[in-house]
Structure 1
Amino acid sequence: MTLPQEVRLSEWNLPDTEVCSAAVRLVLDVSLPVIANHTVRSYLFARELAAARGVRDYDDEVVFLTCILHDLGVTALGGGDQRFEVDGADAAVRFLREHDVAEDRARTVWEGIALHTSLGLVHRFGTEQAVSFSGISLDIDGAEKESLPAGFVERVHAAWPRQDLGFAIADLIAGGIAANPLKAPPFTFPAHLHELLNGSSLTFFDVVRNSGWGDEPVDA
Structure 2
Amino acid sequence: MCQFTNDQQEATSTPEQTAEVIRAKYVPDSKLCQTAFTYAAQHLGPSILHHSIRVYLYTQALSSKLEKPSSKNLTTMLFIAAMFHDIGTHDAFNGPGRFEVCGADAAVTFLRANAHDHDMTEAELQEIWIGIACHTSPEIAERISAFSKLIRLAVLTDFDRPGLRREFQVEELTAEIETSLPRLAIEKILGDAVVRQIMGKKEGADRLRKGPNNSWPGSLLRGELEKEPGYAGVNKYF
- What interval of TM-score do these two structures reach, taking the shorter chain for normalisation? 0.7 to 0.9
Unaligned runs of 5+ in 1: 201-220
Q: Does 1:191 align with 2:218?
A: yes
Correspondence list, 1:127-166, <5 A: 127-142=146-161, 143-146=163-166, 147-149=168-170, 151-166=172-187
CA distance in 1, matches of 2:48, 2:37: 12
Contact 1:69 1:92 in 2 (8 A): yes
> How big is the shift at 1:43?
0.8
> How big is the shift at 1:7?
2.3
**In the alignment, which residue of structure 2 is the partner of 1:61?**
76
Q: Does 1:76 align with 2:91?
A: yes
Unaligned runs of 5+ in 2: 1-14, 202-206, 228-238
**In the alignment, which residue of structure 1 is the partner of 2:11?**
none
For residues 176-212 of structure 1, what are the alpha-carbon distances to aligned partners after superposition, in whole Å with 9 as ceiling and x for unaligned? Answer: 1000123112221111000101349xxxxxxxxxxxx
Between 80-89 and 15-24, the greater mean CA deviation after superposition: 15-24
- Could you tell me which of 48, 61, 64 is aligned with 1:51? 64
For residues 32-79 of structure 1, what are the alpha-carbon distances to aligned partners after superposition, in whole Å with 9 as ceiling and x for unaligned? Answer: 111111100001112112224474755121111111111111012221
Number of aligned residue pairs: 199
Give the counterpart letter for 2:75 in structure 1.
Answer: D
CA distance in 2, matches of 1:118, 1:20: 26
Give the counterpart letter for 1:29 in structure 2.
Answer: Q
> How big is the shift at 1:141?
3.6
CA distance in 1, matches of 2:17, 2:196: 31
Q: Does 1:114 align with 2:133?
A: yes
RMSD of the alignment, in Å?
2.1
Q: TM-score, normalised by structure 2?
A: 0.76
Give the counterpart letter for 1:156 in structure 2.
Answer: I
- Could you tell me which of 31, 35, 53 is aligned with 2:48? 35
Percent sequence identity over aligned pairs: 25
Contact 2:137 2:215 in 1 (8 A): no
Rg larger for: 1
> How big is the shift at 1:156?
0.4
Q: Does 1:4 align with 2:18?
A: yes
Contact 1:49 1:148 in 2 (8 A): no
SS across alignment from 1:40: helix
Q: TM-score, normalised by structure 1?
A: 0.82
Give the counterpart letter for 1:144 in structure 2.
Answer: L
Between 36-45 and 119-128, the greater mean CA deviation after superposition: 119-128
SS across alignment from 1:51: coil
